[in-house]
Every structure is written in C-alpha cells, then in structure tokens.
C-alpha cells in the first residue's frame, strides 16, 4: 500500500471527464460528449491556462517570490490564478467588469484576491476599462506581472499541452467536431491546434454571441465596430481581437442568442444533471443550431467551461430570467404568489351561517374561500354559489350553515405548476386552486389572479 495524495491542489488540474449528453441532444444524430471542466479545482477550465501563465512568467523571470499577479478577468481566470498564487505565495489583484455575476466577484475575494470592478460599456482603450486599469497597475506596482490572458500565448499553449491531448486520448482519436465558446480564444486555438495536427479533418466550431466581432471578422476579414453592442452572455464574445484566437484553425463561428444560451444551460441542469455556466448552454445551443450538418457517424465534443454555482443569481434565477424576457412562456404559480401582495388563505368554518360567510367575504374583499371542518378542508364557497342559492332557492335561509350549500374543495396544486397548466384545474368561473409554499403556508390562486398575471 502506498499513500495516495497530491502535493498541492495545483496537481489536480486537468484530466476532466467526458460525459455523454442524452436528453438535451435527442434531436441530434451524432454522439455528443461534454468535456466537463468543472472538475478542475477552481471549477473551470481556466485553471489550466492560469497555472501555465504563472509558471511561464516564473521561468522567464517576470515575477519573483512575494510579487503581485494582476489580471483582467471575468472570474474564472482569476480563480485559477488565485489558486496558483495561494500555493506559490503571490498577491493578486483582479480587474473585472460590472456585467459579471456578483457571485464571481465574491468568490475571487474569498480566495484572497483584491477585486476592482470597472465599467463594461466603455471602449477597451478607455482609461476606465478593465484592460487599461490592469495595465496601469502593472506599471505602477513593483515586482508585479500582468498575465494579460488575451494576448499571452501561454494561454493557448496550456490547451495545446493538456486539453487537446486529453480529448484525443479519451475519444481514441475518433472525435470529428470540437465545439467551444470563444472569449480570449485560448481554449479553442490550443485544443484545435493539437487535434488538427493529429487529424486535419476534425471540424472546429467556435461559439460566438450577438454583440461580438468574431464571426464577421472570421468570415470577411473586417473588424466591424457595428457588430459591437452590449449582451448578457458571460465568458464568450469580444469587442477586440485577442492574439490567442487563431482564426485559421476555426472552421465556423456560430452565434447564439442570450436567451438560447441561458435556456440550454437550464436544460443541461434539469435534464442531464449538469449544473454548468452560461457559455456551456451557448455551446450546446450552437450544436443544436448546427445539427443538420451532423450525421450518426460523428463524434462531437463540446467544452463546458465552468460551473453553474457562479450563475445562481442569474440564469438559474427565474425572476432574473423573466426580467430579461427569457422565461415568458414559463410563468409558474410561485412567481404569481411572489408578485401578489396578498394570497393569504381565508377559511370559512362549515358551521358558520351563510350570512357570516358573506360578511367575511365582504370584509376581506374575497370572492371565494375554502370551507373547513375541524381544521380540514371539506369544501369551497364562492360569491357565485351564494348568488345562485339566493336566486334559485324559494326557501332561502341566510342563517343556515355554509355546509349545506358548499361545493367540492378547490384542487391542491403544486407550487411549481406552470400557469399554462392551471387551465385544467380551473374549470368554471369563480373557481380557484390552493397551493402550499415551502413553509407549508397555504395560498389561494383565483382565476382573476391568473388573468392579472397574464
């Protein structure tokens, strides 16, 4: 027996698994595998290149013990650098932009990084941009090294040395298509270079966003500033041409919308059990957009860059999704309860008189209520039912108990039911459903509430 351990956390970087996708790619003829980079210690693929940039800088004497590493990063590269810095004893300062998840910034601070948040909507050469601030700091702080993941070619070299060979070995050289979201271009260029050296026929598809310059530049050679506008997707697309993007290795760029990327990421979580970042969804959506070009004989590898925990307040938050118009078809009962100021359930005792019941409905401004007996719901009563009783019953008696005129109980419906599906429960005017929230508190949702929410 031998002790089995790594000498430090950096030794666990790489050798991530390939996982076959099933439900989310049922419409795609090819076999589709995800390279799940969340298994890296910083939960993203960027651990690979972060360590490489730091170690190459050490070898070149660009940083000495006790020095400061500076980087502009949307979070993942920062996390990789922070892990390397923690083990190797460097300080780190990160500049990021105000579009990034708060979770990402908090995580960088948690691993000892100083984070400076810069505005997104300024040009890269503006002194306030996160590129310019990083560059300025690197000039001011002695013994500091600015990694500059965009133009530092150690970035793509890391993928040439690790990601590419891993995929080649794991697929026994049978990979036919590599699909990768492109930001700095390091992942796609390094991995593609290695794979194309093994088999030049492997197709390399880059995933781009609307609002980024890559696709047009690749297809026309023109850097078109009109292509640049703000977008929501994180990690991919650029308003610059980083040196790490080797356009000659990329066969096609596919643009994916913010909504499609977000929806596909949610699908990966719910239907494959893969809780991944935004760009993973974009990459999957890109494959589905391109499915007509794939056959049964193809073996597609999609790189899944990072973990979903960094997006819980964003793509995995229904309110965030709905605010951006991404979830318009999926309004659920719990959203309706959140929106309404009052869905409190007022109950009527079955022994109460019809008169008392009417008084309660008037006081509370409600049109229907469940009827209870000894704490249990036994029926329902509505203004419509009381009116029918008053109009149709010759011997009407307002002192008679509600029990005699009540109708069947309102259906109890799961709080996650979509509003669309509520139709089957709401059969006639005035009817409602009862919903229990996570704290077991009952709420009533009426036909009127549903109409208002729509």
List contacts with ligand PLP (CB under 6 A). 74, 76, 181-188, 235-236, 277, 279, 305-306
Catalytic residue among 46, 193, 196, 203: 46
Inter-axis angle of helices 76-88 and 46-59, nearest 10: 50
Q: Which is nearer to ligand PLP, 24 or 350 (CB)?
A: 24
Closest CA to 101 of 240, 233, 283, 276: 233
Q: State the nearest-atom distance from the C-beta of 176 to ligand PLP, in Å.
A: 21
Burial (CB < 10 A; 0-12, 13-18, 19+), residue 187, is: buried
Q: How far is the CB of 257 from ligand PLP (least distance, A)?
A: 16
Which residue number, 183 or 370, has a Cβ lying nearer to ligand PLP?
183
Q: Please, what is the minimum distance in Å from the beta carbon of residue 220 to ligand PLP?
A: 21
**298-324 as b/e, with b when 16 or more CB fall inside 10 Å?**
bbbbbbbbbbbbbbeebbbebebbeee
Name every residue whose Cβ is closer than 8 Å to that of residue 340 and which is 6 or more positions away in sequence. Answer: 449
Least Å distance, CB 49 to ligand PLP, is 7
- How far apart (Å, rounded) are the C-alpha atoms in residues 282 and 234? 10
The CA-based dihedral angle spanning residues 303, 307, 312, 315, taken in that order and rounded to the nearest 10 degrees: 0
Check: CB of residue 311 under 8 Å from CB of residue 274: no
- Closer Cβ to ligand PLP, 247 or 346, answer by number: 247
Nearer to ligand PLP, 314 or 443 (CB): 314
Q: To the nearest whole angstrom, how small is the minimum distance from the Cβ of residue 167 to ligand PLP?
A: 14
Instruction: Specify the residue, 234 or 449, whose C-beta has the smaller distance to ligand PLP.
Output: 234
Contacts of 156 (CB under 8 A, 6+ apart): 49, 185, 186, 187, 189, 190, 193, 244, 246
Nearer to ligand PLP, 193 or 305 (CB): 305
Which residue's Cβ has the minimum distance to ligand PLP? Answer: 235
- Rounded alpha-carbon distances, angstroms, from residue 179 to 36, 136, 330: 13, 35, 29
Residue 102: active-site member: no
- From the CB of 86, what's the least distance to ligand PLP, in Å? 20
Q: Is residue 137 helix, strand or coil?
A: helix
Overall residue count recorded for the chain in this entry: 454
Return the active site residues. Answer: 46
């Amino acid at each position: 027996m031998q002790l089995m351990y790594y000498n430090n956390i950096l030794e666990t970087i790489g050798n991530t698994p390939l996982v076959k996708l099933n439900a989310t790619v049922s419409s795609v003829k090819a076999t589709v595998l995800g390279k799940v980079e969340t298994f890296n210690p910083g939960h993203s693929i960027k651990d690979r290149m972060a360590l490489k940039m730091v170690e190459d800088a050490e070898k070149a004497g660009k940083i000495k013990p006790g020095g400061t590493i500076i980087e502009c990063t949307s979070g993942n590269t920062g996390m990789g650098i922070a892990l390397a810095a923690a083990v190797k004893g460097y300080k780190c300062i990160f500049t990021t932009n105000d579009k990034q998840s708060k979770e990402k910034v908090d995580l960088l601070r948690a691993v000892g990084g100083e984070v400076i948040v810069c505005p997104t909507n300024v040009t890269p050469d503006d002194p306030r941009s996160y590129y310019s601030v990083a560059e300025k700091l690197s000039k001011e702080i002695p013994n500091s090294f600015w990694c500059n993941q965009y133009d530092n070619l150690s970035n793509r070299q890391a993928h040439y040395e690790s990601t590419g060979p891993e995929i080649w070995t794991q697929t026994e050289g049978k990979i036919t298509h590599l699909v990768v979201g492109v930001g700095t271009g390091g992942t796609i260029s390094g991995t593609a270079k290695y794979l194309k050296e093994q088999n030049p026929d492997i197709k390399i598809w880059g995933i781009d966003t609307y609002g980024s310059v890559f696709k047009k530049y690749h297809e026309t050679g023109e850097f078109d500033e009109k292509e640049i506008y703000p977008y929501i997707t994180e990690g991919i697309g650029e308003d610059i041409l980083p040196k790490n993007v080797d356009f000659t290795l990329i066969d096609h760029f596919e643009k994916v919308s913010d909504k499609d990327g977000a929806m596909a990421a949610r699908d990966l979580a719910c239907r494959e059990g893969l809780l991944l970042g935004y760009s993973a969804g974009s990459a999957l959506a890109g494959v589905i957009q391109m499915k007509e070009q794939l056959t049964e004989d193809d073996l597609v590898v999609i790189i899944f860059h990072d973990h979903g925990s960094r997006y819980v307040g964003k793509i995995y938050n229904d309110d965030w999704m709905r605010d951006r118009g991404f979830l318009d078809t999926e309004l659920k009962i719990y959203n309706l309860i959140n929106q309404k100021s009052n869905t409190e359930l007022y109950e009527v005792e079955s022994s109460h008189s019809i008169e008392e019941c009417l008084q309660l409905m008037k006081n509370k401004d409600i049109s229907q209520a469940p009827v209870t007996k000894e704490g249990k719901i036994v029926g329902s009563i509505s203004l419509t039912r009381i009116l029918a009783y008053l109009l149709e019953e010759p011997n009407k008696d307002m002192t008679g108990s509600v029990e005699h005129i009540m109708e069947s109980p309102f259906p109890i419906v799961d709080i996650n039911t979509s509003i669309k599906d509520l139709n089957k429960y709401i059969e006639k005017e005035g009817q409602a459903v009862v919903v229990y929230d996570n704290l077991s508190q009952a709420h009533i949702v009426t036909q009127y509430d549903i109409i208002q929410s729509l």
